Amino acid sequence: MLKGIGASDGIGIGRVMIIAEQTLEYTPREIADVDAELERFRGAVDKFCDNTIAQADAIRQSTGEKEAEILMGHIAIIRDPFMGGEIENIIKANQCAEAAVDQICKMFIDMFSATGDDLTMQRAADVRDIRDGILAILLGIEEVKISDAPAGTVLVTKELTPSMTAGIKRENVVGIITETGSQTSHSAILARALEIPAVLSVPGAVTSLSSDELVIVDGGKGEVYTAPTEEQVGEYTAKRETFLRERRELESLRGKPTVSADGIEYELFCNIGTPKDATKAVEADGEGVGLFRTEFLFMDRNQLPTEDEQFDAYKQASLILKGKPLIIRTLDIGGDKEIPYLGLAKEENPFMGFRAIRYCLKNRAMFKSQIKAILRASAFGDIRIMFPLITAVEELREGRALVEEAKADLRASDIAFDENIQVGVMTETAASGVIADLLAKEADFFSIGTNDLTGYTMAADRGNSDVSYLYSPLQPSVLRMIRRIIKCANAEGIPVGMCGEAAASPEMIPLLISFGLTEFSVSAPSVLKVRKNISKWTKAEADEIAGKVMAMTTEAEVKAYLETVV
């Protein structure tokens, strides 16, 4: 078995077609007629752009606009005056077009590859694709015809470039295996868009696999089975059928409301970390954003983001959501989330220390600038504010007072904002669970952060494997906390959501329905699965399950029971 990164879910069973790298060898030579060589280069770029437009059209038909844009991005890169200008400068110094293209593209590839950042490294793959395309034109080499791949083909290549992907006929290609690429590389994005199972970053795939051999590609697990037995082929054929059936079922839920089997409607939101993720939330059919973790804005930089920078980010996310709710959590630093330039003192016990709302309330200028940025963005959509790590009513009051101060400042400067902006509490500490009755009287909504609530209730660090046996939201103590928080919110008539990972857990869903949760906020890929799981239960069935669970004494009992009913 070969192991790689599972980049596009599903099972593919088929015969290998190796896409060998083209040998784009050339002999560097001095040229005498610079103008003619410049013409040759420009002609090659024009042809490359024409080919790319044709490929993008093909991808637009087979896959979609967004995927076509990846290819159209190549035109923007090669038409970039700086890059083109640098290439032409080398030609003007009497070098041949091949050498000029190769040299400048290599410079960009090295520069992008060195960053270690996934997105920028993707640019390196794009430039490599451009270089190969232009060199092939200059050298008069025909491109490999992936479009000729017969039915049942598993493509094996060093790197799946966007232009290769354009040739893929999804009815013929059942799997993709590459030697490079990550979850977020363009090849992964395209494979997912084409719904072709893909395993990327399999070391030596091109040399260790041979043309025409039978393989099984498990794109979910990131596994490739070579020389499979008949039994394995049977097993994976059945798995493929199940996978495809489930995918069809899930897709049928797209655009539908989130309702239980007896018609109770729920809100199903997404958790995001950047404004761009808002697009993923929309594409995943999320009905809004239940948790925008704003830490990203403060990380990977050397100083605090300005109010304007934050405003732009929040506004951008809100515009992408087109009026759907956006719950923005104020800065939640400390604990496992470090921001070096803030110079936080080393603490004996950072998870119980000076962090999140505690830090923000003591650094009021910084906090107020974040709140003002959120308020200003609230003029552009349905934005709500949420405070993390609340443990006492005073923290909520102080936070709210600061919101009022920020509002007064904006009013004085005639800047628009939502006067009725909702201010909620993330209930993720044991204290907030215990005083949920008091907090519910002063908060506009709750969102239960089970990732931390589990840790703080069980006094078990969420990252420590030695105590992971205690870290479970199905512990009777954590379940009682969750039930209490929901009941207290229900009693005061305020909405109560869950944005911790447990919201997507199939075992937890009937319990949450029974307790009275009103909103689920999950990662984008989980949206349709959660909608499906919610649709399975009536309130009466959920109550029966919850009744039994809440009478149990240990986590093991709860888990074992839920596994039999879910």
Q: Can you name the residues that pair with 266 across neighbouring β-strands?
A: 258
Number of residues binding to ligand PEP, judged by CB under 6 A: 10
Tell me how far apart the alpha carbons of residues 506 and 101 are, in angstroms, rounded to a whole number.
Answer: 53
State how far the Cα of 516 lies from the Cα of 530, in Å rounded to an integer: 16
500 touches which of Mg ion, ligand PEP, none (CB within 5 to 8 A by kind)?
A: ligand PEP
Burial 5-41 (b: 16+ CB within 10 A, else e): bbbbbbbbbbbbbbbeeeebeeeeeebeeeeebbebb
Nearer to Mg ion, 418 or 428 (CB): 428
Give the contact letters, 325-354, x = binds to ligand PEP (CB under 6 A), - = no.
Answer: -------x----------------------
Q: 3-class DSSP state for residue 152?
A: coil
Rounded least distance, CB 226 to ligand PEP, Å: 39
Instruction: Provide the residue type at 186 as one letter.
Output: H
Select the binding partner of residue 538 from ligand PEP, Mg ion, none (C-beta < 5 to 8 A, by kind). none
* Interface stretch with Mg ion, choices 100-108, 414-422, 424-432, 474-482 (CB under 5 A): 424-432
Q: Which two tokens stand for residue 241?
A: 């059928």
Q: Catalytic: 186?
A: yes
Q: Per CB under 6 A, which region of 229-237, 413-421, 446-454, 522-530 contacts ligand PEP?
A: 446-454
* CA distance readout (Å), 462 to 251, 465, 481, 496, 559: 34, 8, 17, 23, 19
Q: Which residues contact 420 (CB under 8 A, 6 or more apart)?
A: none
For residue 188, how far is the Cα from the chain centroid?
A: 13
Q: What angle do CA 431, 433, 439 make, to 5 degrees?
A: 90
For position 428 contacting Mg ion by CB under 5 A, the verdict is yes
Nearest residue (CB) to ligand PEP, 285 versus 452: 452
Q: Which stretch binds ligand PEP (CB under 6 A): 210-218, 280-288, 392-400, 444-452?
A: 444-452
Give me the catalytic one of 186, 270, 360, 488. Answer: 186
Q: Which amino acid is at 502?
A: A
Q: CB-side exposure of 65: number of CA atoms within 13 Å?
A: 1
User: x/- site string to Mg ion, residues 435 to 464, per CB under 5 A?
Assistant: --------------x--x------------
Minimum Å gap between C-beta 514 and ligand PEP is 20
Burial class (CB in 10 A: 0-12, 13-18, 19+), 204: exposed
Q: For residue 451, report the phi and psi dihedrals to the nearest 5 degrees.
A: -60, -45
Q: Return phi, psi of residue 177, to 5°.
A: -130, 130
Residue with smaller CB distance to ligand PEP, 10 or 455:
455
Taken in order 340, 344, 349, 353, the sign of the CA dihedral is negative
Min separation Cβ 245 and ligand PEP, Å: 32
Q: Residue number with the shortest CB distance to Mg ion?
A: 452
Rounded distance between C-alpha atoms, residue 220 and residue 198, angstroms? 8
The answer to whether residue 132 forms part of the interface with Mg ion (CB under 5 A) is no
Q: Locate tokens 């504010």: which residue?
A: 385
Interaxial angle between packed helices 34-62 and 65-78, expressed in degrees from 0 to 180 and rounded to the nearest 10: 170
Q: What residue 450 binds from Mg ion, ligand PEP, none (CB within 5 to 8 A, per partner kind)?
A: ligand PEP
CA Rg value for the chain: 27
Burial degree of 330 (CB within 10 A; 0-12, 13-18, 19+): buried
Q: Name the minimum Å distance from CB 525 to ligand PEP.
A: 16
Could you say which of 375, 499, 511, 534 contacts ligand PEP (CB under 6 A)? Answer: 499
Cβ pair 11, 239 in contact under 8 A: yes
Among 165, 330, 378, 450, binds ligand PEP (CB under 6 A): 450
Kindly indicate which of the ranges 140-148, 317-325, 372-380, 449-457 contains the residues binding ligand PEP, using the contact rule CB under 6 A: 449-457
CB of 388 to ligand PEP, least distance (A): 7
Of 62 and 330, the one with the shorter C-beta distance to Mg ion is: 330
Q: Does residue 290 bind ligand PEP (CB under 6 A)?
A: no
Q: Which of 226, 451, 472, 538 binds ligand PEP (CB under 6 A)?
A: 451
316 CA to centre of own chain:
17
Identity of the residue numbered 376: R
Position 305 contacts ligand PEP (CB under 6 A): no
Residue 499 touches which of Mg ion, ligand PEP, none (CB < 5 to 8 A by kind)?
ligand PEP
Q: Binding partner of residue 172 among ligand PEP, Mg ion, none, CB under 5 to 8 Å per kind?
A: none
CA distances for 488 relative to 427, 432, 562, angstroms: 12, 11, 25
Closer CB to Mg ion, 144 or 390, in the complex? 390
Dihedrals φ, ψ of 161, to 5°?
Answer: -90, 155
Instruction: Check binding of 293 to ligand PEP (CB under 6 A).
Output: yes
Q: Which is nearer to Mg ion, 158 or 358 (CB)?
A: 358
Token pair recorded at residue 127? 């430039």
Q: Which residue's CB is nearer to ligand PEP, number 222 or number 500? A: 500
Shortest separation between residue 428's beta carbon and Mg ion, angstroms: 5
Strands laid side by side in the 153-157 sheet: 2-3, 223-226, 214-218, 11-19, 153-157, 173-178, 198-200, 5-8
Stretch touching ligand PEP by CB under 6 A, among 99-107, 247-255, 450-458, 525-533: 450-458
Question: Is 391 one of the binding residues for ligand PEP (CB under 6 A)?
Answer: no
The verdict on 428 binding ligand PEP (CB under 6 A) reads: yes
Catalytic choice (96, 105, 488, 499): 499
Rounded to the nearest 5°, which phi and psi values hold at 370? Answer: -65, -45
Tell me how far, at minimum, the Cβ of 330 lies from Mg ion, in Å: 12
Residue 253 vs 357, nearer CB to Mg ion: 357
Which residue, judged by CB position, is nearest to ligand PEP in the bound state? 449
Whichever of 197 and 497 has its CB closer to ligand PEP, that residue is 497
Is 488 an active-site residue? Answer: no
| Site of interaction with Mg ion (CB under 5 A) | 428, 449, 452
| Site of interaction with ligand PEP (CB under 6 A) | 291, 293, 332, 428, 449-452, 499-500
Give catalytic residues, as residue numbers: 186, 499
